[in-house]
Amino acid sequence: MILLTGRPACAQALPGGFVYLRDIDASIIQDIRYAGANNFVGKRLSGYAAAECVVKREVGLRLKAVQQELSRQNLSLKMFDCYRPTRAVADMVAWSQNGRETPADRRFSPRLSKTDLFRLGYVATHSQHSTGAALDLTLVDLRADNSAAFDPAKAYADCTAPAEARAPEGSIDMGTGYDCSDAKAHTASGAITPEQRRWRKLLVAAMAQQGFVNYSKEWWHFSLPGAHWAAYDFPIARHP
């Protein structure tokens, strides 16, 4: 792994062919979860100085093509995570080993202990996200009311609960919330409704048109196979 560290977040050009996704396609919705506290770690992760989707240019251009096809159906992509600094991955590892299980942890992992998430393949110690080749995303119906916002003071049901009981995500109901470490989040799960299955298949097919491959344990995770890029650790800065 090649790590680029020590550069100030506010003064650098993006290295390694990375770009801000908004410079490729500003219509793609962004909800970068690790730049805030609404995620399975429960805090902003190291390296996320801004809630920006940063990707390799090739990845951004392919996402733009996916978005153009989806827009014909009044749909949009919504990005949850893109490039992820390796220091953020280290934060995830430290969280898994801190010896605590909180209600917030259980919201994202109702049946599994956090210490098992790496062993079972729900979280990786070396993430493709750090290379710019992996993405977490979902679909938004642009004709729907997507205004419901996450309330950190509210006690939501866990990520496998019906959409009306779990934390709002302003997106199409895929059967579980984002970052749900549970068998129900497996893309081909039989525990979801036919409508939820249809949306998952539509997302997988739309991404496959541009060469992206889905990870079977996470309906939201896609990567570009054959992209053997180095891992990076530059911080995600505010868009200039």
Name the residue type at position 61.
L
| Rounded to 5°, angle at Cα 208 from 202 and 213 | 110
> What distance lies between CA 49 and its chain's CA centroid?
16
Question: Is the confidence at residue 9, as pLDDT, over 60?
Answer: no
Whether 203 contacts 78, CB under 8 Å: no
- CA atoms of 175 and 194, how far apart (whole Å): 10
Q: What is the pLDDT of residue 186?
A: 97
- Tell me how many degrees the CA angle 204-30-138 measures, rounded to the nearest 5: 20
For residue 107, give Cα distances in angstroms to 102, 172, 213, 223. 9, 19, 27, 26
- pLDDT score at 10: 39
pTM over 0.75: yes
Distance of CA 105 to the CA centre of its chain: 17
Nearest to 213 by CA among 228, 227, 223, 203: 223
Return the pLDDT at 117: 77
pLDDT at 188: 98
What pLDDT score was predicted for residue 11? 38
- The percent of residues in the chain predicted with pLDDT above 70, rounded, is 95
Q: Is the pLDDT of residue 8 over 60?
A: no
List domains and CATH numbers for the chain.
18-223 (3.30.1380.10)
The proportion of the chain whose per-residue pLDDT surpasses 90, expressed as a percent, equals: 79
- Read off the pLDDT of residues 169-212 as tens digits, 9 standing for 90 and up: 999 999 999 999 999 999 999 999 999 999 999 999 999 999 99
